[in-house]
Amino acid sequence: MPSSLITGNSLLAIDVGAANTRAVLFDVIEGEYRFVASGAAPSTAEAPFKDVAEGARNAIANLANILGRTLLDDARGPIMPGQPDGSGVDALVVTVSAGPAVKTVVVGLLKDVSLDSAYRLTESTYSRILDTIGLHDQRKPDQLIDNLLRTRPDLVVIAGGTDGGASRSIQKLLEPIGLASFLMPDEKRPTVLFAGNEKMEEEVRSLLGSLAASLHFSPNIRPSLDTEDTDPAERELARMFINIRKRQMKGVELLDIWSGGHILPTAYAAGRMVRFLSKVYGSQKGILSVDLGVSATVIAAGFKNKSTLKVYPQFGLGENLAGLLQYTTLEDILRWSPFDIPASVLLDYLHQKSLYPSAIAATKEDFALSQAVARQALHLATQFAQRDFPKNIASIKPTLAPLFEPILAGGGALSDASRPGQSLLLLLDSLQPVGVTTVILDQNNLLSLLGSAASQNNILPVQVLESGAFLSLGTVVSPVISTNYGRPILRAKLTYENGTEARVDLKFGSLETLPLPSGEAGKLTIQCLHGADVGFGPGKGGTIPVSGGALGVVFDGRGRPLDLPSDPVRRRELIKKWNWTLGGG
C-alpha cells in the first residue's frame, strides 16, 4: 500500500445498541488500518439515564482503560483530533439501532406496484408497519383519519404514480394524512417521505408541508411499472430515521455533533458494506450478511445487479421477543433444543428475555433455549427476506436459498456462543445454505461500523476486512438431495498445499469435517452420488480451491430443506450428535 494513501488518522466508531453500547478504535499499525480494541458498556437509552450519550461515554472510557490512553476530556467529550501525546482520535462515526421500532404507515396506489415497493422500502429500517393505505382501500376518509389519530405514526412513507403519471389519485390519498396531521399536537405529527411521481412535488409540499413534522422527498421508487429503484429512498430514509431518533431519545443529537454528521442506522451501514463487497467480489454468487441483534434481525444480501436490506424488529432478541409467537409456535422453537424442556419454561424465558435482553444464560438449559430461539428467529427472517431477492439469481433450486459466497454473520446470539462450532451449527440450521460457501463470523460486530467508517475513510474498511479481524469458520459443502437416512451421497478428497490428502464419505443425515486451519488453502475434489447437487448439476462433481477456517471443511449432508425427525427422542439425540461433530459440546 503506497504510503501516500495512509494519513495515519485514527478513527473511533461508536455503536449504540438496545442492550450494549460499544466503542471501537481503528488505527494504522505497520502502515495499514487495523481493528485495535473494543470497549463496551450497557446502553443508557432507558431509565434511569434516558440519555444514549452517557452509555457512549462509558464505552469510550472502558476502551481508554484497555488501551491505556486518554480519549475523553474533562467534560467527558471525545478529544478530537488526536494529540501529540497520544490522547484523542482524529475522526468519529456512530451507528444507532437502539430505541423502539418506528411506527409507520405505508401509502401507495396499487397493491402489486407502488404499495409493495413502499412496503419493501420501509423494511430497510427499524420500522413497525401499523397500516397500509391504497387506492382500493374500502375505508371512508373519516375512518382513515380516525385510524391515523389512534395509531399516531412516527413516519408516513408515500409512493405512487409513475413519473409523469397519475396525480389525482395520489392527491386523494394525501388528504386524510394532511387532515389527521392537522388534528394532532405539533410534537406528535409524523415525518413524511414522498417517493412517488416527481411532478407532484409542489402539490405534496402545499398539502403536507406545514402539517408534517418534516417533509422529505426522494426520487420515485417506481419510475415505471416495470422498474423499481429504492436505493436513493433508502438513503433518505436512513437520514430520517436518525432525525426521528433525535426527537425520541436524548443524546442522539450530541452524538451527531461529535461525529460531524457521520451517524447512520446500524442496519443501513451494514447494508452499505454488503453492497460494496458484492461489487468487490463480483462473483456469480450473492453475498449474505445476517445480524442477530436485540433490536432486530437484519438480513443484507448483495447480488451482481441488486442489493436488498431487510430489517425485522419482530425477530429481534430483545423487547419484541414475546411477539415472536405471532409468527411461530413454542413447539417449532423447542424442536431445535437438545434437551427435553417444557413449553411453559420456554414461554417464561421469552417474557424474561424481552424484559432483560442483556441477561446471560446461567445454565445449559438456558443456553439451549437462547440458541433455539435465535435459530427460529433467524430462520423466519431468512424466509421473509428471500421473498424479495431478485429473480434469476444463481441457485440450485428456486425454492431453496440462493448460492452465496461468502456468508457473514454477527450479533449477540452468535458472538455469545463460546465455541465456533455452536455458531456454525446455528447458522447451518437457520440459513440452510446450499452448494459450497465460506462462512465468516463477525465476532467483534464490526461490519456496520466499517460501513459507517467508509464515509470518512474508504481505505479503512478494505484493509480491516483483509486483516483477520473476522473469524473464518471454514468452507461448508451442502449437497441438495432428499433420500434415505444413512445412504452415501458424496465422496470428497482434500489435497493440502504440502501434497498430503484427506478423504471423507458423507452419508445422508450426517455432518462430517476435514481439518484445514485458518490461513491455509487446499483443493477439494467432490464426487456426487445419487443425484446430489453442490452447484455443478445433479450427480456432477468437480475440483475447487478451498480456504481454511476454525472448523476446516464442513460437509452438511442433512438435506435441503432440513427436515428434523418428528420423534422427539431421536431428534434430540441427532442434535447432540451434530453438536458433538462440530465441537459444540
- Domains for the chain: give ranges and CATH numbers: 3-96 (3.30.420), 102-234 (3.40.50.280), 267-474+553-581 (no CATH)
Within 8 A by CB and 6+ apart from 95, the residues are: 13, 14, 15, 16, 263, 264, 265, 266, 269, 448, 449, 451, 452
In tens, the pLDDT along 338-392 reads 999 999 999 999 999 998 888 888 899 999 999 999 999 999 999 999 999 988 8
* Backbone φ and ψ of 105, nearest 5°: -115, 130
Average pLDDT over residues 309-315: 95
pTM of the model: 0.91
More confident residue, 541 or 162: 541
Residue 418 has pLDDT above 70, yes or no: no
The percent of residues above 70 in pLDDT, for the chain, comes to 97
**Among all chains, which residue has been given the C-alpha cell 424474561?**
352
Extended beta strands in 448-520, E state: 471-478, 488-496, 501-507, 511-514
More confident residue, 169 or 200: 200
Residue 150 has pLDDT above 80, yes or no: yes
Residue 174 has pLDDT above 50, yes or no: yes
In tens, the pLDDT along 79-98 reads 998 888 888 999 999 999 99
**Which helix (H) or strand (E) covers residue 312, if one does?**
strand 307-312
* Residue 75: exposure state from Cβ atoms within 10 A (0-12, 13-18, ≥19): exposed
Instruction: Flag the least confident range among 156-170, 288-302, 307-321, 526-540.
Output: 156-170
- Of the pLDDT bands very low, low, confident and very high (cuts 50, 70, 90), residue 173 is confident
The percent of residues above 90 in pLDDT, for the chain, comes to 69
**What pLDDT, on a 0 to 100 scale, did the predictor assign at position 27?**
93
**What pLDDT, on a 0 to 100 scale, did the predictor assign at position 6?**
45
- Alpha-carbon gap, residue 286 to 70, rounded angstroms: 42
Give the three-state DSSP class for 501.
Answer: strand
Q: Distances from the Cα of 333 to the Cαs of 209, 314, 345, 358, 585, in angstroms? A: 47, 15, 12, 20, 20
Return the amino acid letter for 305: N
In tens, the pLDDT along 101-148 reads 999 999 988 787 888 899 999 999 999 999 999 888 888 989 999 999
In tens, the pLDDT along 184-229 reads 999 899 999 999 888 888 888 888 888 888 999 999 998 887 888 8
Residue 51 has pLDDT above 60, yes or no: yes
